[in-house]
Structure 1
């Protein structure tokens, strides 16, 4: 946001070099991995292209959230900041998870490195840590902690004041949302079952709605850092805070409801079509079997 004498504030693109670099590396890895997979044959090509379309849509939404004028507007309006957060967690995260990014990006690496990673992720310590992180309960808990902790006024004010803290806030929102949605629409969804997905969606809708209601109905300003910039735009800071709370409360609940309907539709489709048999690794070495499992997740 820039202000000149006699001229109102203006909002331009917020092009942070490190953000652009991370976004570029991410889409490059996915693009190379997808191209290599697509050249391997027609088997699973239609599904892979559907996954790729979802990932590109999620990546594009994330890029717009992080570098578009919305990013600079969020410095002046709490409601715009809330739009950023909700878009990352409810649009970008599920779309990127639908893209099966880990398996696809793995294929962007040299064959020797893929085998090394396959062996590394078979280690007992890594397996235990990963299973804990992506388990429905832990993903739900981590996401809930991130949401509630970062909306504590002291932490939110620190994020507004310090770019490094702000980056940590955004990272924690996105990463925990990716973990949560992985158990709902990702490759781990069918293994965890519809019950876990429905429970995660319902309870997340309840506690995020409660947080949004608290912010909306608060009688005073929770985040004083927004008083001056919001007033400079001719808006009431308390009303801006109430709008931000409503964004979390109403559209957020609607997004989780849509997710629940999608899970129900998937369950009905699975019930009618019958369970799919899983390929068995047989007597292949452990590392090769693990890499094959990663490849299978991209189909």
Structure 2
């Protein structure tokens, strides 16, 4: 079989193509101006490629017809892909990839708008961030909601995109290597945030694994991709994917956040200024950084 067959989308989506394409174009344009290291480039392309494969290839058929494959898809969309994108810290490169006139006319006013700032302050609050990160997993795995989401293609795409967006916001918050400010959270709080997300994932994964009846009959109703795999075995594997790999990704995130904390402490970069003043100073620095990037 031709390997390119697997790159053919099961259900073509212009939204996926445009979103991935724009991110790739901006990163290519800005990576040299922002002086992105090779390791960060590899991390970004791996994460972006993982998102594309999980959203827009032939594998989507299996994601829709096996529960454990569905959990593997969400492991990529919510954990793996956003994790590596955030690990590459691509903000400067993506910003540099936007033409200077567009940044001045569209991007900066949009980010400075009060509704946008309030929304970011809310979703990036540590309690809200953890609640959303774990809550979305629980929400989409509620049996009645999961049943409808797997039948309605529109809700199915909302489910997948909500996992991608939330994953990017969460890991961007946790893996930010900068001191606070300009980062939103102090290094110690980043460690606590990601650690707080571990127990709920373990509990839900263990519940799915040990449940003695079928929680998600939609896969039996619509037909399974792997007829040799029993519904209960499929469910158990899916529970294990949430229980072990999902939790391990959070452990790795906590270790990286701890590493950033120790590095900043060793370099004496743990700022003790007031948050509002620090953020104002960080905003001024970003404005100054935009000037030499003008093309």
State the TM-score, normalized to the length of structure 1.
0.80
State which drifts further: 120-129 or 199-208.
Answer: 120-129
Residues 191-270 of structure 1 mapped to structure 2, 5 A cutoff: 191=183, 192-228=185-221, 229-230=223-224, 233-270=227-264
Q: How many residues align?
A: 275
Structure 1 pair 223/155, CA: closer, same or farther in 2 (3 Å)? same
Aligned to 1:24: 21
Residues 140-159 of structure 1 mapped to structure 2, 5 A cutoff: 140-159=130-149
Aligned to 1:5: none
Determine whether 1:14 maps to 2:4.
no
Aligned to 2:101: 112
Determine whether 1:76 maps to 2:65.
yes
Structure 1 pair 263/100, CA: closer, same or farther in 2 (3 Å)? closer
Mapped contact 1:65–1:84 kept (Cα < 8 A) = yes
Alignment partner for residue 121 of structure 1, among 111, 123, 132?
111
Structure 1 pair 11/109, CA: closer, same or farther in 2 (3 Å)? closer
Alignment partner for residue 97 of structure 1, among 86, 91, 97?
86
1:187 to partner: Cα distance:
5.7
Structure 1 pair 26/222, CA: closer, same or farther in 2 (3 Å)? same
Mapped contact 2:47–2:82 kept (Cα < 8 A) = yes
**Distance in 2 separating the partners of 1:120 and 1:21:** 20
Structure 1 pair 124/48, CA: closer, same or farther in 2 (3 Å)? farther
**Distance in 2 separating the partners of 1:175 and 1:111:** 26
**Distance in 2 separating the partners of 1:138 and 1:289:** 28
**Distance in 1 separating the partners of 2:213 and 2:98:** 52
Structure 1 pair 86/123, CA: closer, same or farther in 2 (3 Å)? same
Extract unaligned runs of 5+ from structure 1.
Answer: 1-9, 39-44
State which drifts further: 267-276 or 132-141.
Answer: 267-276
Provide, for residues 255-294 of structure 1, a one-character-per-residue CA deviation record: whole Å limited to 9, x for no partner: 211222222222222222221789xx9xx9x987554467
Mapped contact 2:205–2:239 kept (Cα < 8 A) = yes
1:212 to partner: Cα distance:
0.9
SS of residue in 1 equivalent to 2:112: coil
Extract unaligned runs of 5+ from structure 2.
Answer: none
1:25 to partner: Cα distance:
2.3
Structure 1 pair 102/268, CA: closer, same or farther in 2 (3 Å)? closer
**Distance in 2 separating the partners of 1:295 and 1:220:** 61
1:109 to partner: Cα distance:
2.7
**Distance in 1 separating the partners of 2:226 and 2:147:** 19
SS of residue in 1 equivalent to 2:197: helix
Provide, for residues 186-236 of structure 1, a one-character-per-residue CA deviation record: whole Å limited to 9, x for no partner: 366753123222222222111111111111111211111112523861221
**Distance in 2 separating the partners of 1:295 and 1:189:** 23
SS of residue in 2 equivalent to 1:27: helix
Mapped contact 1:70–1:84 kept (Cα < 8 A) = no
